[in-house]
Amino acid sequence: MLKLIPKKSTPLLFAVVTVVAYGLLLPLTGFYWDDWPFAWIANFLGPAEFNPAFAPFRPFLGPIFYFTTSLIPPVPIYWQSFALVIRFIIGLSAWWMFKQIWPAQPRIGLIAALLILVFPGYSQHWVALTHINQELIPFIFYLLSFGFTFKALRAEKPLPYSVIALLLQLCGIFPTEYFFGLEGLRFLFLLSIFQGNSIERYKKTMKVWWPYLTVWMLNAAWLIYYYKFGPYNSYEVTVAQSPKLVYFLTEALDALWKAGFYTWAQVLVLTFRSLPAPASLLTLGLIAISLAWLTPYLLRFAQTEESKERPRFASISLILIGVMGILLGRLPSLAAGLPLTLQSSFDRLMVSMMIGGSLLTLGMVELLIKNQRIKICVFALLISLGIGQQFFNANIFRRDWEKQGEIYWQMAWRMPALEPNTVLFTHQMPIDYETDLSFTAPINWIYAPRYTRSDLPYILLYTEKRLGGATLPALEPDIEITYPYRTVNFRSSTSNALVIYMPQNGCLRVLDPARGDEEIYANLPDELTKAIPLSNPARIILDTDTPAAPIFFTEPAHEWCYFFAKAEIARQTGNSKGVVSLGNEAISSGFKPEDQNEWFVFIEAYALTGDFKTAEDLSIAVLAEDARMRRGLCTVWKQVLANRSGGSAGLIESIILSFKCNP
């Protein structure tokens, strides 16, 4: 690898690091979180729809979404590839920026840019359609704006470069509030390069900075209006009830610790915790390989530049800029009361702390390590750890995408088509990077593939999140449900509902009050079980010429969950023999459930078709596997007793007694 990167081919180095950190699992990743609603809008309503869609929510983002979605179709592989390009541009932009700020310190600029490129605190790279537009493109604008400011300082005709810097600042600061605090870094960078006493340096800095300060003040005025008087209300986060000073000090220290220190070692904590999982071993192997080829390259680069680095770079200045960069980057999210939690969707807040976190780490290494070779080895290790962390993150998103495919195909198997205006209720889905409104977009894409502008046909709502709010005041019949989904509306009522449930380990199922599911699933959260009486499986269209087919996902092999879904359909139509046939085929193929509840549909069918021996044996096996299944098992057998005709009532009653069921 080293031979493939000549000493002076720094862009090639950035390209290789980008691909190794972010591209190895690219074909196995897809859409996540808000990607789905945005992709649905682009596909069904067109790119121009983003302007009115964002008008009440970050209105300056609309044109960015309009531009990128006009160029790139809403297909996951295209957006993941575009994300790779954007990352590469971020690395080059940061490198170019530092070359303009500290032209006499090429090694410092290169290392800082590489640290920003792989910054491990930000794990949201794979939520590509959302974060490219919402954060990463404005971030590139800001990096370039900084660079042009310093290019203007050294140019014979500075005005054109200053104008470009101001325009880029506008494009970076107005689309999103994430970078509100970032402007302070320009002031600090300027202060770091001017000579003289403190007062002289401050005057020189203000002479250059005042136009940017003016833009920043305009943005501040806009944000005050935006939050206080405008319609924006995107977050529902409760700020800690600690005294404000204590709260802000605690959060500031937390941000410094996470962005400047812990984030670089985080991958070791995560991998060692999950050893000997293959993903952890692969991650550690990638870190070792990256370290092996990065170290000699950086050493070779340092040797050619070392003689130019006189006097030694002021590491204290780097540390101070880094500390302030982290705090300034945390400022907008802290003001909104948002938590800075790593390895969650909230670590997107780290995007505004990338520069500060990288410079703080860089400054600490420069200060504490005197030996140049050891110092370079430490930098190579940090970059390698960043590469490993991003690969580790990619594998998390790979698994999430795989799980999404399972969910959507199980929906399609169990619910071939749905009546329009159906509300799908569930407590939560067993997946990390999607919400109920994220699921709503692909569900509409799957079940209404010919949608044209009208009310939204379907919506998925989490009872855990929505119950008691304006969207879902109560779980009672005939309550109107209206939800504005960007520029279209969903309108229906609780009487048009289906309740679905998918455990962490198990198959998706439609819950049915007619078969006692309220009793069977009584151990689930109340917000879900109270919705079961509203569930109406008749809203599933079983006989359709165009059964649902999930987009972007190849149909998985027909294993246990396929047979379970088809057995649920057979039970819904009263075809007990069909359920038995499916059960026999699944068992003979060696398939079995992870969730013992899934045996109940087969136990009931065997009993209803007169095969009491198999039904009883399965029941005994279920109880032996998990004694907590007794209540559900008793409910099933009581259903059998109520529905079985003929002279078998006595036998069924004796079986019920043998399981110690309550009368």
Residue 602: give its domain's CATH number. Answer: 1.25.40
Alpha-carbon span 591 to 585, nearest angstrom: 9
Least confident residue range of 213-217, 358-362, 591-595, 637-641: 637-641
Q: How confident is the model at residue 311 (pLDDT cuts 50, 70, 90)?
A: very low
Number of CB atoms found within 10 A of residue 13's CB: 23
Q: What is the dihedral of CA 573, 576, 579, 584, to 10 degrees?
A: -170
In this predicted structure, the answer to whether residue 58 has a pLDDT above a threshold of 90 is no
- Looking at the fold, whether 568 and 532 belong to one and the same domain comes out as no
Taking the CA of residue 339 as centre, how many other CA atoms within 13 Å lie in the half-sphere pointing to its CB?
A: 10
| Amino acid occupying residue 243 | P
DSSP three-state, residue 174:
coil
- Span between the terminal Cα atoms of the chain, in Å: 73
Assigned domain for 229 exists:
yes
Alpha-carbon span 173 to 366, nearest angstrom: 31
Please give the distance of CA 131 from its chain centroid, rounded to a whole number. 10
**What's the rounded mean pLDDT across residues 559-571?**
96
Provide the pLDDT for residue 236: 42
In this predicted structure, the answer to whether residue 2 has a pLDDT above a threshold of 60 is no
DSSP three-state, residue 399:
helix
Assigned domain for 465 exists:
yes
Q: Are the beta carbons of 640 and 632 closer than 8 angstroms?
A: no
DSSP three-state, residue 271:
helix
Number of CB atoms found within 10 A of residue 387's CB: 28
- Looking at the fold, whether 376 and 446 belong to one and the same domain comes out as no
């809008």: which residue's tokens?
Answer: 41
527 to each of 343, 514, 531, 622, how far by Cα in Å? 27, 19, 7, 27
- Looking at the fold, whether 530 and 426 belong to one and the same domain comes out as yes
- Looking at the fold, whether 160 and 259 belong to one and the same domain comes out as yes
- Looking at the fold, whether 562 and 549 belong to one and the same domain comes out as no
**What's the rounded mean pLDDT across residues 574-602?**
93
Largest CA distance in the chain: 104
Q: Are the beta carbons of 534 and 495 closer than 8 angstroms?
A: yes
Provide the pLDDT for residue 307: 44
| Structural domain ending residue among the three candidates 399, 429, 461 | 399
**What's the rounded mean pLDDT across residues 510-521?**
90
Provide the pLDDT for residue 241: 46
- Looking at the fold, whether 478 and 625 belong to one and the same domain comes out as no
Give just the sign of the alpha carbon dihedral 284, 289, 292, 298: negative
In this predicted structure, the answer to whether residue 644 has a pLDDT above a threshold of 80 is no
DSSP three-state, residue 301:
helix
Assigned domain for 410 exists:
no
In this predicted structure, the answer to whether residue 473 has a pLDDT above a threshold of 50 is yes
Q: Check residue 423 and report its DSSP letter.
A: E
Q: Are the beta carbons of 542 and 572 closer than 8 angstroms?
A: yes
What are 175-210's pLDDT values in tens digits? Answer: 988 899 999 999 999 999 888 888 999 999 999 999
Q: Nearest-CA neighbor of 439 among 528, 508, 516?
A: 508
- Looking at the fold, whether 140 and 43 belong to one and the same domain comes out as yes
Least confident residue range of 109-118, 436-445, 462-471: 462-471
In this predicted structure, the answer to whether residue 129 has a pLDDT above a threshold of 50 is yes
Provide the pLDDT for residue 343: 86
Provide the pLDDT for residue 364: 94
Does this model's pTM top 0.85? My answer is: yes
Token readout for 551 is 């987009």
Provide the pLDDT for residue 240: 42
Provide the pLDDT for residue 195: 86
**What's the rounded mean pLDDT across residues 481-487?**
92
Return the exposure string of 337-375: e unless at least 16 CB atoms fall within 10 Å of the residue's CB, then b.
ebbbebeebebbbbbbbbbbbbbbbbbbbbeebeeeeeb
Tell me how long the chain is: 663
Helix axes 159-173, 137-153, angle to 10 degrees: 160
In this predicted structure, the answer to whether residue 409 has a pLDDT above a threshold of 90 is yes
Q: How confident is the model at residue 223 (pLDDT cuts 50, 70, 90)?
A: confident
Taking phi first (over 0 means left), then psi (-120 to 50 degrees means alpha), and beta for anything else, what does residue 490 get? beta
Q: Nearest-CA neighbor of 553 among 76, 159, 229, 131?
A: 76
Domain around 255: 2-233+242-399
| Structural domain ending residue among the three candidates 525, 555, 585 | 555
Q: Nearest-CA neighbor of 149 among 118, 189, 184?
A: 189
| Structural domain ending residue among the three candidates 370, 399, 428 | 399
Provide the pLDDT for residue 629: 87
Percentage of residues in the chain having pLDDT higher than 70: 94
Alpha-carbon span 506 to 561, nearest angstrom: 8
- Looking at the fold, whether 503 and 605 belong to one and the same domain comes out as no
Q: Are the beta carbons of 387 and 21 closer than 8 angstroms?
A: yes
Provide the pLDDT for residue 637: 87
- Looking at the fold, whether 121 and 261 belong to one and the same domain comes out as yes
Q: Nearest-CA neighbor of 266 among 381, 365, 385?
A: 385
């880094």: which residue's tokens?
Answer: 322
Alpha-carbon span 631 to 659, nearest angstrom: 10
Provide the pLDDT for residue 645: 62
**Total domain count, the chain:** 3
Assigned domain for 222 exists:
yes
Please give the distance of CA 615 from its chain centroid, rounded to a whole number. 43
Provide the pLDDT for residue 239: 43
**What's the rounded mean pLDDT across residues 103-123?**
94
Assigned domain for 405 exists:
no
In this predicted structure, the answer to whether residue 229 has a pLDDT above a threshold of 60 is no
Alpha-carbon span 279 to 388, nearest angstrom: 11
Q: Are the beta carbons of 140 and 89 closer than 8 angstroms?
A: yes
- Looking at the fold, whether 537 and 440 belong to one and the same domain comes out as yes
Assigned domain for 483 exists:
yes
Taking the CA of residue 351 as centre, how many other CA atoms within 13 Å lie in the half-sphere pointing to its CB?
A: 28
Least confident residue range of 115-124, 151-160, 466-475, 643-652: 643-652
Q: How confident is the model at residue 166 (pLDDT cuts 50, 70, 90)?
A: very high
Q: Nearest-CA neighbor of 442 among 26, 83, 7, 40?
A: 40
Provide the pLDDT for residue 44: 96
Q: How confident is the prediction for the chain on average, in pLDDT?
A: 90
Which helix (H) or strand (E) segment holds residue 489: the answer is: strand 488-493
Angle 482-488-492 (CA atoms, 0-180°, nearest 5)?
A: 30
Alpha-carbon span 202 to 190, nearest angstrom: 9
- Looking at the fold, whether 211 and 357 belong to one and the same domain comes out as yes
Q: What is the dihedral of CA 531, 532, 538, 539, to 10 degrees?
A: 30
Provide the pLDDT for residue 626: 86
Q: Check residue 430 and report its DSSP letter.
A: S
Assigned domain for 404 exists:
no
Assigned domain for 406 exists:
no
DSSP three-state, residue 369:
coil
**What's the rounded mean pLDDT across residues 382-392?**
97
Provide the pLDDT for residue 389: 96
- Looking at the fold, whether 539 and 562 belong to one and the same domain comes out as no
